[in-house]
Amino acid sequence: MAILMDGKALAEKRRGEIALKAEKLKELGVEPALAVILVGDDPASELYVRNKHKACERCGIKSLQYALPADTTREQLDALVDELNADPSVSGILIQSPLPKGLPEREIVARISPDKDVDAFHPENVGRIMRGDYLMRPCTPAGVMDFFEEYDIPLAGKEAVVVGRSDIVGKPMAMLLLQANATVTICHSKTADLGEVTRRADVLVVAVGRAGLIRGDMIKPGACVIDVGMNRVDGKFVGDVAFDEAEKVAGYITPVPGGVGPMTVTELMENTVTAAAAQNGIKL
């Protein structure tokens, strides 16, 4: 039976560490502040923004929220981003995805100053992830890497398989694993015989948004399985991995919910504190 990797407990531990960093910054005259821009009234997005606000409160980070109507123009949104970029009291800027139709998300994200881009989605920060000289890591892949550290999962020389090639999770996840000296394979919808590839993995990270894609017989015995998926099935949230089957084969596994999810928001807090320190020439 696999060891359960508890994301809630790890997030609680990490938020305590982040709060100490935030307190140190305040003692030095710097208050970390996160500005979150929400455009429209999507219920899921509103929930995510509330969760980020609560996380800020728990970590001692100032939370700035900007709720804009769905008919906000590109010019209006650009003007707000420019204003926040120029405000030295704002450490990080996040634009809640998805934006309403007609607003080019990539272009607007690229307008955020790279040193305030706490999602690490700006093209400059994406390039830094590729080169391995980044200041901030994308939040979900960063949370996954924290699991490996917390549970002493060795990566150097191991075979790692990432299922999913999104810009948000799959691609940066592969880069972080590669920088940790794992041998990395990326799988996707065109991969022939997915199970043949995943069965080679010492470390398997799944992030495609398809419930139960990975079955127990697709997992190498003793492997570490990280399930990033979050799918609603019959009123319940489930991952991309068939948990009941996988936990009988894997050595370590994350649950859904309660696994990677709590760590994603936690890493956003970490990035905000990191950005605040860097902007003021402070080493934490």
In the residue annotation, 119 being an active-site residue is answered as yes
Q: Which entry of 21, 62, 116, 119 is annotated as an active-site residue?
A: 119
Residue 54 annotated as catalytic: no
When computed from its CA atoms, the radius of gyration of the chain, rounded to whole angstroms, is 19
Instruction: Determine the Cα–Cα distance for residues 36 and 52; give it in Å rounded to an integer.
Output: 9
Q: Say whether 279 is catalytic.
A: no
Identified catalytic residue from 52, 158, 171, 220? 52
H or E element, residue 8: helix 7-27
Catalytic residue among 6, 21, 62, 96: 96
- Single-letter amino acid code for the residue at 14: R
Rounded CA separation 12/58 (Å): 10
Distance separating alpha carbons of residues 193 and 74, to the nearest angstrom:
44
Residues whose CB is less than 8 angstroms from the CB of residue 120 and which lie 6 or more positions away in sequence, other chains included: 126, 129, 134, 136, 137, 138, 139, 172, 271
Neighbours of 252 (CB within 10 A): 20
CB 104 within 8 A of CB 112: no
DSSP per residue, 152-198? T---TT-EEEEE---TTTHHHHHHHHHHTT-EEEEE-TT-SSHHHHH
Catalytic positions are: 52, 96, 119
